[in-house]
């Protein structure tokens, strides 16, 4: 099966243009699947994979504690792989075609209140290059709704500060122009003028956000710093970068933005993905009604 996996990963990387993180997720899913087929079913030829074998793998995942959401994601990976094998004539059938996705409970995304966001943005204090960088990093995340992978992938050429915007490259290397807003623009310019050059020292790099060694800031670095600032800001819940993206979208809609504009700024292909944030607002309004209405 290894050669077919290599063909598929090459297709995903070259023709689909998927990010390294997405490719890693596919690799984990399909490598595990291939190992199961080889060890449990003694199958290495795609033509010999049956629907019952695929169902057996999903059942094994369930027995190992994988949630319905996790199994649905894995099934999506397997479907893509088997469709590819059939289309490229590496296999004569698709064993996944009639399998239904495990039922998942639609959970609403976790987010910060506007007051919590304000406290978080004020958490990096001082004039050190790291503090200046982190103020800019948090402001840009919240002002644009960018994914953390998009943030750390920003290059100087992506900044359009003369028009108050930046270019973000999302999933599938799709590009979109996002406005920054005055506060984020001011803090970002301060970082570029007073913080970034000190971090860069005598090195060369066109990445916007740098670590203490003057290299590209990592995802882990963003997570670590955000966690520390959330504690400093007195935020009780666990905070992760995507919460700022959820908060960005929800706060825009709460303040009157239209769904299509939010969809464009988030880079969602399907507006149904953006509509989850309208459910967040409805849920919050319902809680407020129950809490404060005399007959709630």
Q: For the purposes of burial, counting CB atoms within 10 Å of the CB of 278, is it exposed (0-12), middle (13-18) or buried (19 or more)?
A: middle
pLDDT at 255: 86
- Entry pTM: 0.67
CATH superfamily of 114-239: Intergrase catalytic core (1.10.443.10)
Distance CA 149, CA 137 (A): 12
Q: Does residue 296 carry a pLDDT above 70? A: no
User: What is d(CA 196, CA 121) in angstroms, rounded to the nearest whole number?
Assistant: 19
Q: What share of the chain has pLDDT > 90, as a percent?
A: 65
| pLDDT in the model for residue 276 | 82
How confident is the model at residue 216, as a pLDDT?
92
> How far from chain centre, in Å, is Cα 292?
35
CA angle 218, 219, 221 (to 5 degrees): 65
HSE-up (13 A, CA, CB side) for residue 162: 2
Q: What is the tens place of the pLDDT at every residue in 183-234?
A: 999 999 999 998 999 998 878 889 999 999 999 999 999 999 999 999 999 9
The token pair at 183 is 């506060």
The CA-to-CA distance between both ends of the chain, in Å, stands at: 58
CATH class of 2-87: mainly alpha
Report whether 116 contacts 233 (CB < 8 A). yes
Structure tokens belonging to residue 30? 């399909």
- pLDDT score for 282: 72
pLDDT tens digits for range 122-139: 999 999 999 999 999 999
Which residues are known catalytic residues?
147, 171, 242, 245, 268, 277
Residue 245 has which token pair? Answer: 């993206």
Q: Where are the domains of the chain?
A: 2-87, 114-239
Beta-sheet strands, E only, within the chain: 159-160, 165-169, 175-179
Residue 71 has pLDDT above 80, yes or no: yes
Q: pLDDT tier at 80 (50, 70, 90 boundaries)?
A: very high
- Tell me whether strands 175-179 and 165-169 are parallel, antiparallel or unpaired: antiparallel
């Amino acid at each position: 099966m290894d050669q077919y996996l290599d063909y598929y990963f090459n297709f995903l990387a070259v023709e689909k243009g998927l990010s390294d993180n997405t490719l890693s997720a596919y690799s984990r899913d399909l490598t595990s699947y291939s190992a199961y087929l080889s060890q449990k079913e003694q199958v290495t030829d795609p033509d010999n994979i049956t629907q019952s074998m695929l169902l057996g793998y999903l059942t094994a995942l369930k027995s190992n504690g994988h949630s319905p959401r996790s199994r649905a994601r894995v099934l999506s990976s397997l479907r893509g792989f088997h469709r590819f094998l059939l289309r490229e004539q590496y296999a004569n059938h698709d064993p996944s075609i009639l399998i239904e996705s495990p039922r998942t409970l639609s959970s609403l995304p976790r987010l910060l209140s506007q007051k919590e966001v304000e406290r978080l943005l004020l958490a990096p204090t001082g004039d050190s290059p790291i503090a200046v960088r982190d103020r800019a990093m948090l402001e840009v995340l919240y002002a644009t709704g960018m994914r953390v992978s998009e943030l750390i992938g920003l290059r100087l050429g992506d900044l359009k500060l003369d028009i108050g915007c930046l270019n973000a490259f999302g999933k599938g290397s799709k590009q979109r122009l996002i406005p920054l807003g005055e506060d984020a623009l001011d803090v970002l310019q301060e970082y570029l003028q007073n913080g970034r050059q000190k971090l860069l020292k005598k090195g060369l790099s066109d990445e916007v956000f740098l670590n203490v060694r003057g290299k590209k800031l990592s995802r882990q670095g963003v997570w670590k710093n955000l966690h520390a600032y959330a504690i400093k800001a007195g935020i009780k819940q666990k905070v992760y970068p995507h919460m700022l993206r959820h908060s960005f979208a929800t706060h825009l809609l709460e303040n009157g933005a239209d769904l299509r504009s939010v969809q464009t700024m988030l880079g969602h292909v399907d507006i149904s993905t953006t509509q989850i944030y309208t459910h967040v607002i409805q849920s919050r309004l319902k809680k407020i009604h129950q809490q404060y209405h005399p007959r709630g």
